[in-house]
Every structure is written in C-alpha cells, then in structure tokens.
Homo-oligomer: A and B are copies of this chain.
Amino acid sequence: MTLKAIGIIRSPFAQAQGTPIQPCFAEGAQGVVEVFEEYHEALRDLDGFDRIWLLYWFDRARPASLVVRPYMDDAEHGAFATRAPVRPNPIGISSVRLLAVEGDRLRVGDLDILDGTPLLDIKPYVPLFDHYPAVRTGWLDGDATRNGRGVCADGRFQKGDRT
C-alpha cells in the first residue's frame, strides 16, 4: 500500500509550535490547497460543499508512539485514543471550511495543518455521514475541551524539535 501526494497544503504555520491542534481552534486561519494539475477533473462540483475533509501525511511527525501525552491532558493515553500525529500510519484528517475553488487551488479556512504538508485525499463533508453530536468522548469528557487547553500545539510530536 503506497501513497502519492495529490497536492500540497499551504498554511501560515511553518512549525508545530503555535499551530492550532484542530480546525475548531483555527478560526481565521486561512490557507490554500494546491491540487496537482493531473487531478483537476476530480474537483468537479466540489464548490457546492461548505466543508471538506482533507487527508494528509504528517511528514514532520516523530516516529510512532503507542502511548502519548496529548495536548489536551496531562495523562498518557493510547495513540488510537488520541488525534496525535505520532501514529503507526501518520495520516491526519481535518474538516476545513471551503471558501473558494479557483482552478486547481482551494482557498480554505479553519486550517490546522503545517505549511508544505503532502495532501492525500479530499472528500466532501456530509453531516448525514459525519455528524454525531451526542457521544461520550472518554478522557476528553472532562475539563479538556471546556477550558481551551491545548488550543495550539508545541513541539512535542515534531521531528527535530527540542522544545
């Protein structure tokens, strides 16, 4: 199973430090998704959607850890119970706002992705498929989501970062 980049994500975030950790914390953060020209036809009708999923490769993440201390808690949790980038297959998913389709460039908002990140896939966000409001969220059910902790990343999961 091998992947190829279908484009590049351009964002204001050159490094993990200070990057919003999720789209919900990234209001106002805009960027551009540059889709390679050979995939132009696959973008047809995408402009009807307000939100899209971006799937991308965490190219600057450290090697996988099975147990991690996520931004939003002081305790360790299994990597599969977190959204940390240090995963066996370092694929990220983010539901970003689609502001405009300009040829092969998508202007997007609520962007929580590092500049230069390889893009793997684009899917439309469909509430019928993706929207489950009232569910238990384990260790996140506590204070983590309410007090705004962990709104931005630090360098803990980034390759070569000493912070």
Contacts and interface: CB of A to CB of B under 8 A. Distances in A.
A87 B159 CA distance: 30
Chain A interface size range? 35 or more
Interface of A is mostly: mixed
Interface string A50-71: 1111010100000000110000
A162 interface: no
A43 B125 CA distance: 27
B45 A95 contact: no
B133 A57 contact: no
B135 A87 contact: no
Contacts of A39: 66, 80, 88
Interface centre among A44, A77, A95 (most CB of B within 10 A): A44
A41 B55 contact: no
B83 A66 contact: no
A79 B42 contact: yes
A3 B89 contact: yes
Given A42-B80, A49-B136, 5 more contacts: A44-B77, A45-B78, A49-B135, A124-B138, A126-B145
Interface of A: 1-6, 22-24, 39-53, 55, 57, 66-67, 76-83, 87-89, 91, 93, 95, 118, 120-141, 145
